[in-house]
Amino acid sequence: MNKTNFTIAFAFILLIYIICDLLHDKKLAQNEVLQLSQKLGQLEQSIIRNNQLIADNEQKKQLMENQSLQNQEQISDQLKENYCANQLVPMPISGSLYNRAKNLRESTNTR
């Protein structure tokens, strides 16, 4: 009888210990889920901001391309009306201008 009572008491204490350990693990898991949910929310906000920046940059890029095309058309129209535009430019000057433009394009080319 004494052994039986001892076994029952030991089993009961062991059961209480296991239950407490499981409850503690459950709390830790809930805290971890909460922290990961907060981090996920922050990442989603960051993604939304970054996507908005990308969209804004694409829109600005398109606007700048359109402005550049308009400027090129305007320059072409102005050159058609200009007498000097139809005259030949001496080779040293044209070569110098060509190299200068080429260097400017290379310095701004980031791709």
Residue-wise pLDDT for 4-25, tens only, equals 888 999 999 999 999 999 999 9
How far is the C-alpha of 86 from the C-alpha of 76, rounded, in Å?
A: 12
Grouping H, G, I as helix, E, B as strand and the rest as coil, residue 83 is coil
87/16: higher pLDDT = 16
User: Which structure tokens are listed for 18?
Assistant: 């296991």
Whether pLDDT at 43 is above 90: yes
Question: Mean pLDDT over residues 97-107, rounded?
Answer: 82
Indicate the number of domains in the chain.
1
Check residue 49 and give its pLDDT.
97
Domain ranges, residue 35: 2-108
User: Tell me: the pLDDT tens digits for 64-84?
Assistant: 999 999 999 888 888 777 777
Whether pLDDT at 98 is above 80: yes
Whether pLDDT at 111 is above 70: no
21/95: higher pLDDT = 21
* pTM given for the model: 0.53
- 79 close to 85: Cβ distance less than 8 angstroms: yes
C-alpha to C-alpha distances, 4 to 10, 17, 18, 63, 88, nearest whole angstrom = 10, 20, 21, 87, 116
